[in-house]
Structure 1
């Protein structure tokens, strides 16, 4: 008993895990995987929840067969009571008939709700009292009770309509029951055991349910002794072709009783384990996971690495015009440097030249990137193609090994913000600190020296002018001192002017070097800003979709019994 309870607990735990994984796969795959596949998986989860919510004490065994297979006769033979009418008065079963056995010594749940869920209206309870009234015919009670005080659960046997019936409603009942009963017993006959309907529409489709499937060759009494073995061997080969690995094949005769007791024992062996319902539901989960697995990648998808993200940011930087801004920063820096360090008498000319940063609306310190945009050219077809191309190359690297449905989803995720991306990039450029109004320390030093040099030149000029005026007015003044034969005022003029020119030229060279350094710094900042936008608007949506795909793959694998 303890061993059986342990097996029931293990089966229940395995089913819990399988259903949880299948539910996770449904959530992850919704909107990505085909709606039909998701609906089928959702129906399996819902059906399993309903079955588990109803009586766990009963095991439902359904008898399936074609017209003329003797299914109802075998059903009566198993029950031991003439419940299902046969022969000319009822050549085909037109509705589901239930035989319910509940031993009086066992405490089991009411089977009514379970039969309501199965939509079985025709019901008959075969109890100990019924056996007392018909002791010769009520073999079901003796078989089910065995030599003990009786099992702890109940048994429901269903005689179902013929699956090859021309009546559409009969076929619908059989297909629905094939997806609901705990144990499936397929009754075949020697004439139609190879019928394509039973093999293609049922056995092959339910090959994953071989643990709860029994195949019976009925009416063997119609075969000569030498014919039985070849027919059984042929049927066994057909079952193997259907994918049924663990075959439960019996040769029986409802007329002579041959093999009926053995078939009862086979059913009892399955029912006694008390795990038939869980095994059936778990097989449904495994089968559904197999169908979903066709849309799952073979291995876990990996996100593109840092190099690919860097390539993406570089492509977006080129499309948004980062180099245009860098050149503007360099040009603006040189103009500002000349405006401060140039020769004071001519540097005002530099201020007349248009500042490229101001033209791009990036010079103003108070610019609000949320409210204002830059004056960079609006992306045309060429720039938009560059943006889309960079995004597509990145997303394609993320979904190379993904199935088509997930490739589409990942590509769509990468292009989710396609329309907003140019504006986001423009805001990133506008919000980047460019240091447009920053001044270098050496500007002040050079400017001071320039003014000193100009002052010296002006002082020398005024000195000479004073000496000339005094001579013109015939004032007797001492002559200007000489240095190496050159008058000091003249030297002051020459030195001041020469120093100003040399400083202006040197400042221009230094300004170019400084502009190059500043351009590199600004390029890094702009690239970082663009990379941040790329991370937020491209990489993160792609990462979420890749993780969703991996979550789907993992859930499907675990639901299918793979770890």
Structure 2
């Protein structure tokens, strides 16, 4: 396989990779970065797709120049026949003119399709031109046929309208062609080689395309021999200021033929490589990537860490009123514990007290969290400001180090659900299993002992009541049993009542400790529920936006430099 062919295939593979990366960058940057830059990137992708479907065997070389630069004369000198009308005899037109050379074995339809895409209607093949026109000595026909080996690919030369024309349609054609041709030949003249129009509007804008650019200084026959080199040096200095540092201006004369053979050799070398189309597209991709790179982060943005996420969840929990629920849980637990383990003669009073969990609509374990709403107090201005401030701080920390456009996008992603965030948090609280109706194991033995103590006290009271009734009726009974001088029935009453009261006081103390434990457990559950909402409604959107920012950065780097560093 020829060496040039391997180079072309390598360039095509590199082009595939960079086009894919540019597409990723355009998609990631859509709606985030400068819309004009994204639009131009998409135009590059569309143009590349169309160009790659057309002939890869033809190299399109466009001749660009200002009025009076001798561009058409140079074009004729290259072709070898008077295809382009020059000077005053050339009519003003907005149409490009094409001279086509087909290498052996080429399909004419391939060139036609390519020229259709370029919208060039005025077409001439070199062979046809030599049959109808008087060839100029040393023209392309002689050049190609004089070679020992035919060129590797076909060639299309385009003579374009003057880019400084006052006719708007002329300039539109030139600007469109500047974005489509494979090789750009800028023809300058000694009088206007420093003209701002060509340098600002074309050369500076295409500085990344110097690999597919040729700059020629035409009409050097109008200069003395001592003037040529200073003018070339001045032109080279201007090109360097334009950002074109790898182009050496060529001195040519369409009248005397000076430099024409060297220019033909340069073009022949480009045609033989058959990589100009890929190189042009690579330059387009690089230029678009450099424009997008101005809006990419300098470094990879880190994802929010565990600490930042925990702080956000805690702040949102405080705003929604988790502590209010925790206090209600502890109060409800103590009321339930008292109602279950208190002194049977007074514990019913605990049931008369309002249950704070029931008032918050959080007591029922059967409530559907999708439709259940808590009765937590509505967020006031302070609580809402607390929630908004927590989200804002989180997004600002997450976007630190990002360009303004991406920082705004990260912030917007974090606050996108701000209006409904409190509703989601309320549902999360309502759907959390607070274990509100669960009874602690210690309640059961305490309740049994309480009832046993009451039974003892009642037994003693009934005994005493019986003794009083028998005494009233004047019946004789055996002496009442005594312990250390105290009647047993009296001891039973006192012991039963005293045991009940002491046990009630002890169970109240145990209930406070149990309430504290349940409060801590409920706080963890509620915080976990709030954290889940925080993750899905704030953290995940922010993380996706950071991923998008990093994807944009990596894709731009690969498209522009071929690596992601």
Corresponding residue number in structure 2 for 1:307: 307
Q: Verify the 8 A CA contact 2:94 2:173 in the aligned structure 1.
A: no
Deviation at 1:546, TM superposition (A): 1.4
Distance change in 2, residues 1:211/1:85 (3 Å): same
Distance, in Å, in 1 between the alignment partners of 2:334 and 2:451 is: 20
For the pair 1:3 / 2:14, whether they are aligned, the reply is: no
**Normalising by the residue count of structure 2, what TM-score does the alignment of the two structures yield?**
0.96
1:517-556 residue CA offsets vs partner (Å, 9 max, x unmatched): 0000000011111111111111111111111121111111
Q: Secondary structure at the match of 2:56?
A: coil
The answer to whether the 8 Å contact 1:368/1:431 transfers is: yes
Alignment CA distance shift 1:363-1:105 (3 Å): closer
Aligned to 2:167: 167
Alignment match, 1:517: 517
- Return the offset for 1:148: 2.7
The equivalences for 1:73-472 within 5 A come to: 73-90=73-90, 94-104=94-104, 106=106, 109-127=109-127, 130=130, 134=134, 137=137, 139-472=139-472
Distance between the aligned counterparts of 1:440 and 1:254, measured in 2? 104
Q: 1:131 deviation in Å?
A: 7.0
Output one character per residue of 1:86-137: Cα deviation in whole Å (capped at 9) or x when no partner.
Answer: 1222286643111111144555653111111111111111028827975653
Q: Is the 8 A contact 2:312 2:394 kept in 1?
A: yes
Matched position secondary structure for 1:127:
helix
Q: CA deviation at 1:497?
A: 1.2
Q: Is the 8 A contact 1:103 1:141 kept in 2?
A: no
Aligned residues of 2:81 and 2:135 also touching (Cα < 8 A):
no
Task: Say if 2:59 and 2:154, in contact at 8 Å, map to a contact too.
Answer: yes
Alignment correspondent of 2:552:
552
User: Is the CA contact (8 Å cut-off) linking 2:329 and 2:436 kept in structure 1?
Assistant: yes
Q: For 1:108 and 1:56, how far apart are their aligned partners in 2?
A: 13
Q: How far apart, in 2, do the equivalents of 1:3 and 1:387 lie?
A: 66
Structure 1 unmatched runs, 5+: none
Match of 1:61 in 2: 61
- Cα distance in 1 for partners of 2:165, 2:350 equals 98
The answer to whether structure 1 residue 15 and structure 2 residue 31 are counterparts is no
* 1:188-235 per-position Cα deviation (integer Å, ceiling 9, x unaligned): 111111111111111000000000101111111111121111111111
Asked if 1 retains the 8 angstrom alpha-carbon contact of 2:297 and 2:403, the reply is yes
Equivalent pair of 1:103/1:128 in contact (CA under 8 Å)? no
Work out whether residues 106 and 152 of structure 1, in 8 Å CA contact, stay in contact via their aligned partners in 2: no
Q: How does 1:456-495 map to 2 (within 5 A)?
A: 456-495=456-495
Partner SS, residue 367 of structure 1: coil
Q: CA deviation at 1:143?
A: 2.0
Q: How many residues align?
A: 563
Deviation larger for 430-439 or 20-29: 20-29
Runs of 4+ in 1 over 4 A off after TM superposition: 91-94, 104-109, 131-136
Alpha-carbon distance in structure 2 between the residues aligned to 1:105 and 1:480: 136
Kindly indicate whether the alpha-carbon contact (under 8 Å) linking 2:409 and 2:545 is maintained by their aligned counterparts in 1. Answer: yes
Query: Structure 1 residues 53, 115: closer, same or farther in 2, change over 3 A?
Result: same
C-alpha RMSD over aligned residues: 1.7
Name the SS of the counterpart of 1:257 in structure 2: coil
Q: Is the 8 A contact 1:107 1:152 kept in 2?
A: no
d(CA) in 1 for partners of 2:103, 2:487: 136
Q: TM-score, normalised by structure 1?
A: 0.97
Q: Is the 8 A contact 2:151 2:268 kept in 1?
A: no
What is the distance in 2 between the residues matched to 1:494 and 1:456?
Answer: 9
